[in-house]
Amino acid sequence: MRFLVLLCAAAVLSQGVTKLPLERGKKLRKVLREKGLLHRFFQRHRYDIGTKFPHAFPNGTEVATEPLLNTLLNTLDMEYYGTISIGTPPQDFTVVFDTGSSNLWVPSISCTSLACQNHQMFNPSQSSTYKSTGQNLSIQYGTGDMEGIVGSDTVTVASLVDTNQLFGLSTAEPGQFFVHVKFDGILGLGYPNLAADGIMPVFDNLVNESLLEENLFSVYLSCETTGSVVIFGGIDESYFTGSINWISVSYQGYWQISMDSIIVNSQEIACSGGCQAIVDTGTSLVAGPPSSISNIQSAVGARQDTYGEYNVNCSSVSAMPDVIFVIDGVQYPVPAFAYVEQNDQGLCISSFQNTSGDLWILGDVFIRVYYSIFDRANNRVGLAKAI
């Protein structure tokens, strides 16, 4: 089974690129700009969303906090990732905790792609608990592809030990995107319906093994290098102020919700009459249909440059309007300091980007402002003002 999910940016141009410089952690936007490829990048690649699609907990369950690092402070780069371990003895990997997909995979030692060689690789022969399934796996993301096999092993996330977890071991990672990112693999936190080949996601196994206090997880994203967390099984009130607003999931694949409208300067400029959106920790930006994004860019005073980026006057950021997302009758303002980021060259960039479909993606730009709770027990998303 193949499907498309959006991560944080479209894949690096595969045509016309022979080899990009290998500097692990180097910002993808900067690499493309240096190679003169950024304009073509925006022309050819938009954020793509595919058409995919209660437990009682005994004593001894827990709430586990997974700290996230945020070292790639750039809108084109996957920003937040944490460390998990796989196997016995454990082999450590950095992964993106991605609510926009549902599979866990890491590179394997049998992978010869440049992306694998540039990252940690899993060695099945060094794990006494590893089991091969003989199953092949292929996943196409909006940002790149992976091909590999499926194995089973013990996966440890924070303090949670997930035994007999099926996961992917990439044997090929075509293209250039995964070469330059900081993380090794991806841990999907979407619904099982989104998982390739019907593989049970890690979160579902944690719930089925009665390891969590509650059938939910929550996310706080800091603007600093440290301080971001995924909290499995609980909600931490120290990360937000005010009340939690709950929104029903409209489709159980992505964490998809219904949005009423988008307002700037008291004018409805997008999502007129309602639209669908996903809350996606694996996406750096806020993305939507091109005509609607164009309306937002115009309303906030952003202008497109020769690289395809939308720039604003850095000295005007404090006077720029909020972009207000209206969801279930509640207004969620995102101020300019949250949707404008300064790049390496001192330019201020708008963090709104086109998709190729109708779904809106509320990525890290939105989640940094609103502590997000993903409640599987009640199939709802909770939003509260982050501190």
Cα–Cα distance between 8 and 5 in angstroms, integer? 10
Tell me, what DSSP letter sits at residue 209? Answer: T
Cα–Cα distance between 240 and 234 in angstroms, integer? 14
Cα–Cα distance between 370 and 383 in angstroms, integer? 6
Residue 35 has pLDDT above 70, yes or no: no
The pLDDT mean for the chain works out to 85
Residue type for 54, please? P
- Alpha-carbon distances, residue 258 vs 18, 24, 188, 206, 360 (angstroms): 42, 38, 22, 28, 10
- Assign residue 264 a region: left if phi > 0, alpha if psi is -120 to 50, beta otherwise? beta
SS3 327: strand
User: Which residue among the candidates 48, 77, 98, 184 is catalytic per the annotation?
Assistant: 98
Query: According to CATH, where is 2.40.70.10 located in the chain?
Result: 28-231, 237-386
Cα–Cα distance between 21 and 118 in angstroms, integer? 12
Pairing relation of β-strands 228-232 and 255-259? unpaired
Longest dimension (CA), the chain: 61
Cα–Cα distance between 125 and 137 in angstroms, integer? 20
Residue pair 177/339 in contact by the 8 Å Cβ criterion: no
Q: How confident is the model at residue 38 (pLDDT cuts 50, 70, 90)?
A: very low
| Least confident span in 86-100, 123-137, 142-156, 194-208 | 142-156
pLDDT, greater one: 356 or 371: 371
Q: Which two tokens stand for residue 129?
A: 């608990």
Following DSSP, what letter does each residue of 248-262 receive, concatenated? E-SEETTEEEEE-EE
Report the pLDDT averaged over residues 329-344. 93
Residue 294 has pLDDT above 70, yes or no: yes
Tell me which CATH homologous superfamily contains domain 28-231: Acid Proteases (2.40.70.10)
Neighbours of 85 (CB within 10 A): 16
pTM: 0.84
Residue 26 has a pLDDT of 36
User: Which residue among the candidates 204, 280, 364, 375 is catalytic per the annotation?
Assistant: 280
Residue pair 287/280 in contact by the 8 Å Cβ criterion: no
Give the architecture (CATH level 2) of 237-386: Beta Barrel (2.40)
Residue 325 has a pLDDT of 98
Which own/partner contact pairs does 272-278 have at CB distance under 8 Å and 24+ positions apart?
275/358, 275/359, 275/360, 276/250, 276/251, 276/358, 276/359, 276/360, 277/325, 277/327, 277/359, 277/360, 277/361, 277/362, 278/49, 278/99, 278/100, 278/254, 278/359, 278/360, 278/361, 278/362
Residue 181 has a pLDDT of 86
Q: Confirm whether 98 is a catalytic residue.
A: yes
Q: How confident is the model at residue 344 (pLDDT cuts 50, 70, 90)?
A: confident
Q: Peptide bond preceding 67: is omega within 30 degrees of 0, i.e. cis?
A: no
Cα–Cα distance between 157 and 375 in angstroms, integer? 18
